[in-house]
Structure 1
Amino acid sequence: MRVKPIELSENEREQLQLIIKKGSDWRERERADTILMLANGQTVIAVAEQQGVKPEAIRERRRKWWRNGLNSLPDHPRSGAPSKLTDSHRCQLKEWIDAEPLNCRALVSRLTTECGVTISAGTLRNELKRLGYVWKRTRYSLKKSAIQSASSRPDMTSPS
């Protein structure tokens, strides 16, 4: 059985090349690259080897392309629990952070006591990243002690 080749219009080809060049999602860029390689006559196995995926993944991308065209490239929404934080919680977090530098535990504790929302420290960090905050650990530097270390003292065992 011969597989029907992918035929692209000039507009589709340009859009795929634009996605590959300037797309923000790596999965979408990879899918666009797959479609272009298949349209250029490469085999499923050759494309799979170049992209480091199984041939069935390439076949599935081709089937989705035939069904949905360009709409098959982006990821669809995934299931999962809704966010525990509302927009008002996010605004409150911003106010607290802008008023004083708090660590993650303090923010989680304050959010629990004042807003009644219980989240983990990891969830809070992810939320702060989405809000554009950079989270850094405190770095403690080791200062040289005023007392000399044992290795720098004169040797007590040697005869004077």
Structure 2
Amino acid sequence: MPIRVIIELTETERETLDDIIKKGHDWRERDRAMTIKLLSQGLTVSEVAKQQGYHEETIRRRRRLWKKKGFCSLPDQPRSGAPNKLTDEERQLLKTWVEQEALTSRALLSRLEERGAADICDKTLHNELKRMGFIWKRTRYSLKKNAIPKGSNKPDRTLSN
């Protein structure tokens, strides 16, 4: 017989979890909130795991974190990774340059290089600009259509009487 560990929730906690499930921006946060809600309804860990398609240990971990941290356990925690290539000062410079005039990535990279900033590649620059909310598109070289339209491949039809 599986052990049922019911999570006791107040009415405001239950309402907040419902709001997160319905209106939350991050699917992981909504999923974790649903786990806590199901556990509070008296379902066992194995029932919740089966219903949500997770391993039982994942559900136990979520329950332990909820007991320890409460609502702070729902959002994703910071993850490790490579350190930022640009400083906040360099990011601010980039933002200023882009807002003042439309520059190519090559021009922005050369300006950063002149300032003695870290050597970054094109892709890193695009990602930084995207994080700042800028949309980066390649430039089209020509929007003109051919001056001479292509002839039709269909044979001319003549009406005979």
- Do they fold alike, i.e. is TM over 0.5? yes
- Higher normalized contact order (CA 8 Å, seq sep 6+, divided by chain length): 2
CA distance in 2, matches of 1:116, 1:16: 45
Alignment partner of 1:125: what SS?
helix
Question: Which of 46-55 and 24-33 deviates more?
Answer: 46-55
1:48 aligns with 2:49: yes
- Equivalent residue, structure 1, for 2:134: 133
Tell me the SS of whatever aligns to 2:115: helix
In 1, Cα distance between the equivalents of 2:153 and 2:37? 71
Assess, with a 3 A threshold, how the Cα gap between structure 1 residues 3 and 154 changes in structure 2: closer, same or farther. Answer: closer
Structure 2: distance between partners of 1:136 and 1:89: 22
Rounded Cα–Cα distance in structure 2 between residues aligned with 1:133 and 1:12:
38
Q: State the match for 2:67 in structure 1.
A: 66
The aligned residue for residue 3 of structure 2 is 2
- Which sections of structure 2, spanning at least 5 residues, go unmatched? 156-161
Counterpart CA distance in 1 for 2:149 and 2:102 is: 36
TM-score (norm 2): 0.76
Whether contact under 8 Å (2:105, 2:125) holds in the other structure is: yes
Q: Indicate whether 1:100 and 2:101 are aligned.
A: yes
Aligned length: 154
Identity of aligned residues (%): 56
Aligned counterparts of 2:72 and 2:147: Cα–Cα separation in 1 = 68
Per-residue deviation, 1:142: 7.1
Cα distance in 1 for residues equivalent to 2:154 and 2:65: 77
Which residue number in structure 2 is paired with residue 158 of structure 1? Answer: none
Q: Give the structure-1-normalised TM-score.
A: 0.76
1:12 is the counterpart of 2:13? yes
Deviations 1:15-52 (A, max 9, x none): 21222233333222211111001111233344334433
Paired with 2:59 and 2:142, the residues of 1 have a C-alpha distance of 51
